[in-house]
Amino acid sequence: MNRFRNFMVGRYGTDKLGIALLILSMILSWTGGLTGLEPLVVVSYVPFIWCIYRMFSKNIYVRMNENNKFLTKYTPVETAIKKKVQVLFGTKTHKYYKCSGCGQMIRVPRGRGKVEIACPKCNNRFITKT
């Protein structure tokens, strides 16, 4: 274990871009394997090799810049997906409603019975059950 730790000293390691490349490689490989498309399986090696190269790279500054560029594109998408999932499934403590006037999403605590909700954006009022 110590040998590997010493080997990794000064190397970049993993980050979100590396994990995304690994997931992309697995998806391409599985899709190619299930559909019988061998070229897709071969193409799946490209992101995998890039991921391994990034992990063992000693050029940390360049790898961090690559990851930061990726995160500027990835983070808004991840946030939007998390919001959609949260609205779709809700939480244990809150429910989400859409204002009929402006379309603003409004978070209301669960278990309050029948309540009147005032939209903070357009001040539209509506009554709903939580």
Question: Tokens 């979100």 identify what position?
Answer: 16
pTM of the complete model: 0.68
Tokens found for residue 124: 């539209």
Q: Is the per-residue pLDDT at 4 higher than 90?
A: no
CA angle 90, 94, 100 (to 5 degrees): 80
Phi, psi for 105 (deg, rounded to 5) = -80, 130
d(CA 108, CA 123): 15
pLDDT tens digits, one per residue of 8-52: 888 898 999 999 999 999 999 999 999 999 999 999 999 999 999
Instruction: Give the mean pLDDT of 109-119.
Output: 88
With a cut of 90, say whether residue 107 has pLDDT above it. Answer: no
CA separation for the pair 111, 121 (Å, rounded)? 24
CA–CA gap between residue 99 and residue 121 (Å, rounded): 9
